[in-house]
């Protein structure tokens, strides 16, 4: 039986029919476009890398500006591949209590969502289903005008992944693992402090499960639950708390307890987004990675018609982070070592409670194909991912800047040769 192309997203990748000539053409076009964008953007980063070696504030600011431009160009690249090679609508819902859908979107006169309203500085936690999970929050940040602030908290093993590892390091992404003695050695504290002092966008994104929800990881989650003597989740993996605990304590110290902080102790300068992601076509207790990969999404163009993002926020001051041991000006080592066992246990209980809620949300999504019911506002909005004029200008600006840089370098080298 032939499966209609528009329904292939409901079929696991391994069960899909062979590639057609059109599929192969689509695959080649995507990899040429995406690969070219990656190479050009990374070359742009490397071309201006010497600025990072100059011990002067002006050079430091210039390098941060280059990094900002590179991140924005990559965000526009993501918009491009979703709009052209793997179209998906982003369906936005919220709990209606901590945040309302209408407060997250901006519409034009025709009533179409054209932009998002997100905090300038925030920390995000999300469930983790497939390796392209990070793409859709990054696109949301692009439509909110704060994509340059994204800092993804990643496993330390990815720090030196070929090509992408060095690029992510230049993006100032943070690489950590769950061994507490290594957490203070990450760049989390330094990068957040620079953003706070400069008033720049800052969005830290974490996946507390630490790995994908899949057939390989479910038994490990079950064993972890048995070890702790707690019920196992059905639709998500049990979260690991060490990395998120250190991250939240660090960001609370920097953004709320620093001398430049303007918030009273009962509130926060940092918004805490609790994101739950669901993909159309994945059945109840199904594994998204069996249906979607980077190449199946954009190489073959079999993308979910809808990507559902459910928003909730938490007051950072109300999260049990061992506030008594936090103080203004504390360094990363103190933040990591001053928390007591009771502080860590309280946070673990809080995080598991949030993941129980996520588990219930994903159960409803698997059964109904949408987030609804308890804890979900009836209203929902749809963001159509389309290329904007600014995206084209941003993408064009990178090769133009490289060309100017090359002309300047050639001219300077010519002058040096004449003098010598």
Q: Give residue-wise pLDDT tens across range 116-149.
A: 999 999 999 999 999 999 999 999 999 999 999 9
Structure tokens at 5: 């192309």
Nearest Cα to 180, choosing from 223, 238, 240?
240
Give the number of other Cβ atoms within 10 Å of residue 195's Cβ: 23
Which burial class, exposed, middle or buried, applies to 295 when counting CB atoms under 10 A from its CB (0-12, 13-18, 19+)? middle
| pLDDT grade for 264, boundaries at 50, 70 and 90 | very low
Q: What is the mean pLDDT of residues 378-394?
A: 96
Above pLDDT 90, what percent of the chain?
68
**Phi, psi at 121, each rounded to 5°:** -130, 130
324-351 pLDDT, tens per residue? 888 888 888 888 888 999 999 999 999 9
412 pLDDT exceeds 70? yes
Spatial separation of the C-alpha atoms in residues 390 and 402, rounded to whole Å? 19
Nearest Cα to 35, choosing from 156, 163, 147?
163
Domain that holds residue 347: 5-419
- In terms of DSSP bridges, do strands 113-116 and 271-279 run parallel, antiparallel, or are they unpaired? unpaired
Angle between helices 57-84 and 21-47 (to 10 degrees): 170
393-403 pLDDT, tens per residue? 999 999 999 99
**Total tally of structural domains belonging to the chain:** 1
189 pLDDT exceeds 70? yes
- In angstroms, how far is CA 98 from the centroid of its own chain? 21
User: What value does the mean pLDDT of the chain take?
Assistant: 91
210 pLDDT exceeds 80? yes
Spatial separation of the C-alpha atoms in residues 93 and 283, rounded to whole Å? 20
Nearest Cα to 133, choosing from 254, 381, 260, 308?
308
Q: pTM for the full model?
A: 0.93
213-259 pLDDT, tens per residue? 988 898 888 888 888 888 889 999 999 998 899 999 999 999 987 65
* Helix or strand holding residue 349 (H, E): helix 341-368
Nearest Cα to 123, choosing from 263, 275, 262?
275
The DSSP symbol for 269 reads S
Residues 153-189 as b/e (b if ≥16 CB within 10 A, e otherwise) read: bbeeeebeeeeebbbbebbbbbbbbeeeeebbebbbb
């Amino acid at each position: 039986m032939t499966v209609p192309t528009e329904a292939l997203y409901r079929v696991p990748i391994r069960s899909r029919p062979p590639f057609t000539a059109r599929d192969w053409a689509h695959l080649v076009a995507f990899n040429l476009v995406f690969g070219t964008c990656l190479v050009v953007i990374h070359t742009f980063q490397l071309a201006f890398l010497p600025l990072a070696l100059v011990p002067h504030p002006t050079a430091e600011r210039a390098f941060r500006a280059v990094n900002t431009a590179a991140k924005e160009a990559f965000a526009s690249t993501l918009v491009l591949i979703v709009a052209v090679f793997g179209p998906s609508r982003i369906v936005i819902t919220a709990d209606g209590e901590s945040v309302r859908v209408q407060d997250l979107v901006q519409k034009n006169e025709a009533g179409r969502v054209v932009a998002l309203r997100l905090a300038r500085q925030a920390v995000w936690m999300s469930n983790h289903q497939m390796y392209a999970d990070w793409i859709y929050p990054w696109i949301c940040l692009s439509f909110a005008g704060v994509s340059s602030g994204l800092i993804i908290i990643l496993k330390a093993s990815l720090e030196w992944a070929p090509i992408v590892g060095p690029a992510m390091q230049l993006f100032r992404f943070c690489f950590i693992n769950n061994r507490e003695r290594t957490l203070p050695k990450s760049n989390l504290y330094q990068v957040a402090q620079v953003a706070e002092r400069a008033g720049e966008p800052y969005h830290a994104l974490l996946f507390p499960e630490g790995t994908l929800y899949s057939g390989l990881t479910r038994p490990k989650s079950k064993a972890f639950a048995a070890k702790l003597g707690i019920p196992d989740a059905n639709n998500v993996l049990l979260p690991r708390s060490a990395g998120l605990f250190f991250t939240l304590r660090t960001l609370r110290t920097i953004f709320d307890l620093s001398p430049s902080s303007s918030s009273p102790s009962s509130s926060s300068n940092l918004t805490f987004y609790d994101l739950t992601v669901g993909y159309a076509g994945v059945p109840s207790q199904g594994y998204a990675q069996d249906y979607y990969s980077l190449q199946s999404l954009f190489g073959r163009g079999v993308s979910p018609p809808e990507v559902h993002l459910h928003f909730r926020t938490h007051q950072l001051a109300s999260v049990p982070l061992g506030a008594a041991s936090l103080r203004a000006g504390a360094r990363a080592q103190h933040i990591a070592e001053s928390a007591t066992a009771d502080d860590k246990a309280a946070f673990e209980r809080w995080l598991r409670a949030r993941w129980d809620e996520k588990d219930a949300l994903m159960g409803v999504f698997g059964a109904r194909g949408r987030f609804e019911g308890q804890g979900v506002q009836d209203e929902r909005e749809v963001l159509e991912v389309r290329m904007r004029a600014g995206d084209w200008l941003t993408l064009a600006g990178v090769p133009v800047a490289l060309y100017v840089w090359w002309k300047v370098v050639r001219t300077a080298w010519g002058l040096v040769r004449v003098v010598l």
